[in-house]
């Protein structure tokens, strides 16, 4: 069992480090030394903010999976 609610990943093949995700979900992401986003504390953010980050990322680099269901969450268009 895990207490984590969300598994958030950033594809570093795609991330261009423009920090849009940090503005949408500032507690969940930070830029690493290479200037790319890392999901550091996704469970401290609301589902809405995480999905906003997915929606606003220009590279579609972020994925959010609900741990309990294994379902990948998609923002509503």
Query: Which 8-state DSSP code applies to residue 13?
Result: T
Q: Please say which residue, 61 or 64, places its beta carbon nearer to ligand SF4.
A: 61
Positions that interact with ligand SF4 (CB under 6 A): 10, 15-21, 37, 57-59, 61-62
Determine the Cα–Cα distance for residues 34 and 36; give it in Å rounded to an integer.
6
Residue 42 CB, shortest distance to ligand SF4, in Å, is: 13
Determine the Cα–Cα distance for residues 44 and 59; give it in Å rounded to an integer.
23
Residue 1 CB, shortest distance to ligand SF4, in Å, is: 29
**Would you list the DSSP string of 56-75?**
H-TT--EEEEETTTTEEE--
Q: Please say which residue, 56 or 67, places its beta carbon nearer to ligand SF4.
A: 56
Residue 3 CB, shortest distance to ligand SF4, in Å, is: 25
């Amino acid at each position: 069992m895990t207490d984590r609610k969300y598994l958030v990943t950033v594809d570093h093949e795609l991330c261009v480090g423009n920090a849009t995700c940090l503005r949408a979900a500032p507690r969940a992401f930070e830029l690493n030394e290479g200037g790319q986003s890392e999901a550091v504390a996704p469970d401290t953010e609301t589902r809405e903010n995480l999905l906003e980050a997915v929606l606003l990322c220009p590279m579609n680099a972020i994925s959010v999976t609900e741990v309990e269901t294994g379902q990948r969450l998609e923002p509503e268009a």
